[in-house]
A and B are shown apart, each in its own frame.
Chain A
Amino acid sequence: MHELSIANNIISEVEAAARANNVQSVASVTLSIGRLCGIVPGALQFGFEIAREGTVLSSAKLLIEEESVVVWCPDGDHSVELMDMVFRCPVHGCQTPEILSGKGMEILRFEVADSCSNSQETIAS
Chain B
Amino acid sequence: MIRKLIYFFCCMLPYLALAQVQMSPAEVSAFKKSLQKAKEIKTLETDFVQYKHMSFIKKPVESTGKLYVQHPDRLSWSYTSPFAYKMVFKAGKVLINDQGKRQSIDVSNSKQFEKISHLVSSAIRGEEYNEKEFAVSYLKEAGGSTIKLVPKTTDTKRYIKEISLLFSGSDNLVREIILREPSGDYTRFVLKNRKINTKLHDSVFNF
**Chains A and B belong together in one complex:** no
**Chain B positions near chain A (C-beta within 8 angstroms):** none
